[in-house]
Chain A
């Protein structure tokens, strides 16, 4: 409401954030875990003067640079782009709190890029000690950038009752920071190992001895990654805010996903034990692809759960899902949601000047002056700004046409004004009683009759009885 709302049909604008973030995380984890593994393995290979192994690591670094520096960097910037478009108020808030945190991250990105290029392009030209040091500069920088960004995203999940006067460091080191750093470090090591399996199974297809040596070595990263994920996951659950725990227990979709992640992780441990650890020869391209896709699926599901349990907030206790500050709600319930936003106010003035006061405010008490077309239009405006963050209108993600199917006007009205009571993961209604009426009229105009209790169904039954 403080910014114009970008209407994206069917999937809703915030879904773009999820898509871009998922595409980024698949590679960002590799950028961190792969960097640490490459630095460590290169130092070992240099120490043992293992030319064969160094040759493989060189070829893997080429693959690594191509994936992480290009794709990883652009999708990372892509998240910035998308959050600014689809969630501007939360982005504005985060940037005001964490500007220097992001500045620090920028510094480490810079170190990552320079060190990665030197590490790769000057392979065989730098002396082993310098080469190893530059590898570690990359690995450590990448991990610190993970620490910083995790602190920021963890703050979104559990701000720990943060207030404006608490400042930057309290926000960065919130109750969720350490658990998520542990889990994400584990995820990075695990996923990076799967990238190594995939790469090695294809590039060393005809060199079983070298491939098996490498795959066997990588098992330690899978195992240590898994242990960190489990520890981080438990701590993550312990430090979840109350509404997050409740959502995790109550939402069936999240139950299924949590079960899938657990089963998927167990399956991967079993596959890694019997495959790469006991029988490295099993790691054919097919086997590696299955492991890799399983890893991506696990990471995606885990990240989805992490995001989903944040509702109704985008930033815990500060910014709600419908792009307003929590602190604004009492005022908006008094003066009206349409009046509270600069763009909604501007729009109302253009389509229904009769409800705008001389001071430019929208007065809910004047809604009686609106004709039915204006009422539906303004109801749709309320839908756009209050609901479209999560719900599509007639068709698409969590569409309200489907969700309200067969509901009476009374039920719709009740679900609007009491939405946070019916579903604790939804924000409170943030407008006046009259505005709830407008939204109700719009929703009633798009809802469909129940597929099982339609009037014509009973007619049909009567016909059959006759």
Chain B
């Protein structure tokens, strides 16, 4: 188990139990995944719709891009929590993997800055109704950058659990024992299926978001547009579902190690979660087809909940696999636990209080009379 260069145990110990940290890491990841999935495919879809579409097809693009600045801000913020808990739990893996691919990993920040401002400029021009060549350019640029950033993330997080590849990258890029950081985890068989699986989930989540937006948007949508959206979302979800099955099968059957797979199949709750992650997307897909018009708000809430099951089950199974893969070379029980009770309690109290404050603010704006504008 100790054949890999693994950072010694931190003298502070873990500030809370492994279970607590994993719970918050997964919760934070789910919160991050929702907006991230929508912008990941949403910006690209919006650019396609606006660049090549007319009528309602174009309207879908306009509606999508209008919320992107807010979703980006929330998604980036939600990403902080899982990143924090990743660093506490998996510091030997997270820092090592990042440093080995330091140049592309560092470039994420620069790329994100361009993509974010690109989205703002594009959304601004779309809102004004006059999109210049620069506007289209930034839309496409941001779309491509988000796809690249996703690829970088998959690289780092797959490298974290693959110490054999650490050694390969280190040997290839070393300069007198230091590393140049110019590398990617391309030798990892799980890299591409994992990346594609994330895209598949993002497609399905974006499809659900389009329905939600059409039904709950404060801007009054025409009935005709809502009908169009239902058909559009069903088609988009179908594409996402096929994509998920394709990449998921590749990942589970062709890339994931037999040892991990067998381990998963020996634990009943993991089997259930794996099953949900693999097949739960069929239910919202069927709901989209059966409920071809989402007239009642409750039918929209149903599909939101169903999609949430898809996201949560994928997040939990992903977390389980990450732990199983890491435990092959470093037991999580390695670090002692020194509970930091009082800051933990203050954090929890603040976390819950902030939800009340946010709920209060949102209630104030929900109570406002709808802003009637020309249907888009």
Contacts and interface: CB of A to CB of B under 8 A. Distances in A.
A455 to B, nearest CB: 30
B10 A92 contact: yes
B346 A111 contact: no
Interface in A67-94: 69-71, 73-75, 77-78, 80-82, 84-85, 88, 91-93
Contacts of B175: 7, 384
A253 to B, nearest CB: 27
Contact of A381 (B116, B167, B176): B176
Interface string B165-180: 0010011001111111
A77 B176 contact: no
A110 interface: yes
Given A70-B117, A88-B95, A125-B371, A113 B176 contact: no
Given A4-B170, A113-B73, A344 B177 contact: yes
Q: Is the interface of B mostly helix, strand, loop or mixed?
A: helix
Classify chain A's interface size.
Answer: 35 or more
A93 B351 CA distance: 24
B332 interface: no
B147 interface: no
Nearest to A328: B8
B15 A20 contact: no
Contact of B179 (A4, A125, A164, A380): A4
Interface of A: 2-8, 13, 16, 20, 66, 69-71, 73-75, 77-78, 80-82, 84-85, 88, 91-93, 95-97, 99-104, 106-111, 113-115, 117-118, 122, 125-126, 130, 134, 137, 164, 167-169, 325, 327, 342-348, 350, 377, 380-381, 383-385, 388
B344 interface: yes
A97 B343 CA distance: 10
A185 to B, nearest CB: 21
Interface of B: 5-8, 10-15, 69-70, 73-74, 76-81, 83-85, 87-88, 91, 94-96, 98-100, 102, 105-106, 108-109, 112-113, 116-117, 120, 167, 170-171, 174-181, 340, 342-344, 346-347, 350-351, 354, 357-358, 361-362, 364-365, 368, 371
A74 B109 contact: yes
Contacts of A347: 170, 174, 176-177
A104 B343 CA distance: 9
B96 A70 contact: no
Given A84-B87, A109-B80, A126-B368, 12 more contacts: A73-B77, A88-B95, A91-B87, A96-B12, A96-B88, A106-B81, A106-B84, A110-B78, A111-B358, A115-B361, A122-B368, A126-B365
B331 to A, nearest CB: 17
B99 A6 contact: yes
Contact of B364 (A130, A325, A343): A130
B95 A3 contact: yes
Given A103-B81, A103-B351, A93 B100 contact: no
B106 A100 contact: no
Nearest to A79: B109
Contact of B347 (A16, A100, A111, A137): A100
B355 to A, nearest CB: 9
Contacts of A164: 11-12
Given A84-B94, A101-B343, A167-B340, A109 B358 contact: no
Given A77-B109, A109-B77, A169-B342, A114 B350 contact: no
B178 A342 contact: no
Given A4-B170, A104-B346, A96 B99 contact: no
Contacts of B106: 16, 81-82, 85
A100 B346 contact: yes
